[in-house]
Structure formats: structure tokens, C-alpha cells
Amino acid sequence: MCCLDGLSEQLPPVRSWGYKFTLTPFLSLNCGYLYRVFTTIYSATLYMSDGSITHIAAESFYEEDVTGDTVVSFTSDQPMMVVQYMKGGYANTPYRGDPSMLIVTPNRAFTAVVTFLVIEYTYPHTYYMNVIIECDYLDGILLDETPFMSWDLLHTSDTLICCLRSNVSVGHHNVSHTHPMARFSVIVYAVGEGRTSSYAYAANPFGSAGMESLPTQPETKPTKDITAVTAPIVPTNNAIVQDVDGRSLPRQSSMAVAKFVFLLLRVYDSSTSAYSIVMPFLIVKHLKRVLILYRI
């Protein structure tokens, strides 16, 4: 071993994780790739496009070493984050490239237009892009407003998702489609020629326009019974009255109003000076109670 590679990416928020992913191999590298699937506080089940099923524990990950030019696609019953790793160097024949890492864009974050930048390296590199799209929309892909005609085509085992791999020049580029319903993602990467260097990134990553946030808690696995918190309060004696807005109130509300009216009438019937002094305080006390009960 001659050297170590440090790989890092900014973690996306859990609310932007996805349920369906498609991973594609890197053009010109015959050594395959690695990927990891990360779960949240809930365990998850992966349903692969080839029909196999994989279970992942909560707060854990699943890793697979994919050989050759294989497109991997799967769905899950819980939100996931997927990371793909490029192999390179001695893992490839002939020697070229270097390890790199990218956070895979979930299928729900595919967009109708992708604009990206191919950055030029100092050392000799070859630059590539992968376009991941539903196979029904292969016709009509545009690269910089020109029909995208030259590519290496791969697809998933169920032939639903296709991958178009091609060389791309250094600079700014734009991928679009002639069909208004077409959605896709783009991966951009560079492979060093005879040198240990590379880079890879998703051109339309998490947080893309039109991507809705995931629910904070999956509906299939509630953490606790919240019926006691959300259930309406109903008096045991079933004595209900309504306020002026039609809201149901227990009997104590009507009793408070009755006491308040009674005290007002007693003002005119007071014969002692001491009772006349205390009476206003009693009136104010019951008035406050009425206001609280009626939420005024």
C-alpha cells in the first residue's frame, strides 16, 4: 500500500432521503464499484430490481461490491441515503483512476433540466457523464440543446431504468429533454490517465427544485400511541353546552355564567356596607373565569 485516500461528502438532511435509487457503473473502469445504503432510526427492507430482498437493521448500513458494468436499482419501505464509491488505481486493469465518492440522487429528485460544470484537472484526465433516465424516454435527450446521439447504453435487470454513459468536454453543460414529462439525473466524473486521481459528483443532488420533503415519521411505524394526546376532552356527565361560535363546552361554563349574573343582581339587593365592598371583587373573579372558559 503506497498511500491513503480520504473521502468526504456533506451529509444531506434526513428529510431529503429517498425510497428508490439507481446506481450506474463508471465508464472506462472495469473494476466495478462499491455502494452503501444507510438507514435512519428505523430498520428497512430493500427490494432489488432482480427480485432479491435484503433487510437492514436500524441505524446501520448495507454494503455491496458490484462487479463489471452492472446497473443496480432498488426500493425501500423506509427513507435511505445511498453512497457510491469509485474504485481505481490497482483495482482497475490497466492502472488508471483513483477512489472517489458521491452521494446518489434518489429517483424522486430527478429533474427535467440539469446544468453542470466539468472541472479540468492539471494532470491528464478523461471526463465522463452518466444520464440516468426511464427507458421510455431514451429518445429526445439534449446535450447543450443538441440531440445526444453518442453513448454507451446500459439498463436495469427489469429494463425500466436506463443509463447513458459518454465522454464530455471541460466546461459548462446543460442536459434537457424534448418531452415535458421526462425526468433524469446526471453524474459527472473524471478518471486520471495513469495517475492516482479522480473526482465524481451528482449534478442534481438532494434539495433539487421540485423535490418534496419526506415525512418526519414514517406512517408504517409510529413511535407511540398519540390518541391520548390528540383525543378531544369530553366531560364524564355528557353535559355539553355551546358558546356563541358553536364550540362545545362542559357544564361548568354555564354554571360560571349563572354565578356571574347572580352576583350582578345581588349588587342591587345588598343591605350591608361590608358585603357591598366585597361584591365587586367577587364579580371580577367570576368574570375572569367566564372569559377563560369561553377562550375570549
Per-position DSSP letters for 254-287, written without gaps between them? HHHHHHHHHHHHHHTT--SHHHHHHHHHHHHHHH
d(CA 107, CA 52): 20
Strand partners, 208: none
Computed over every residue of the chain, the mean pLDDT equals: 77
More confident residue, 140 or 282: 140
173 has pLDDT over 60: yes
Rounded to whole angstroms, how far apart are CA atoms 82 and 21?
8
CA distances 36 to 19, 126, 146, 202, Å, are 14, 26, 35, 16
Q: Is the pLDDT of residue 180 over 80?
A: yes
Edge to edge, the sheet with strand 184-192 lists 152-155, 161-167, 125-134, 184-192, 198-202
Distances, alpha carbon 134 to alpha carbons 48, 190, 266, in Å:
17, 25, 82
Average pLDDT over residues 122-132: 90
Distances (CA, A) of 59 to 101, 126, 247: 21, 38, 46
Compute CA distances 12 → 20, 22, 24, 195, 255, whole Å. 16, 18, 21, 31, 56
In the chain, domain spans: 14-202, 232-293
Max mean pLDDT range (96-100, 107-111, 242-246, 282-286): 107-111
Grid coordinates representing 202 are 451528482
Specify the pLDDT at position 264: 56
Report how far residue 134's alpha carbon sits from residue 162's, in angstroms, rounded to the nearest whole number: 6
The phi, psi pair for 230, rounded to 5°, reads -95, -10
Band of residue 188 on the pLDDT scale cut at 50, 70, 90: very high
Q: What is the mean pLDDT of residues 112-127?
A: 90
Residues 238, 231: Cα–Cα separation, whole Å: 16
Residue bearing the bigger pLDDT, 269 or 75: 75
Residues in the chain: 296
Task: Tell me the C-alpha distance between 254 and 246, whole Å.
Answer: 14
The reported pTM is: 0.68
Q: Tell me, what's the pLDDT at 149?
A: 82
Q: Has residue 239 got a pLDDT over 50?
A: no
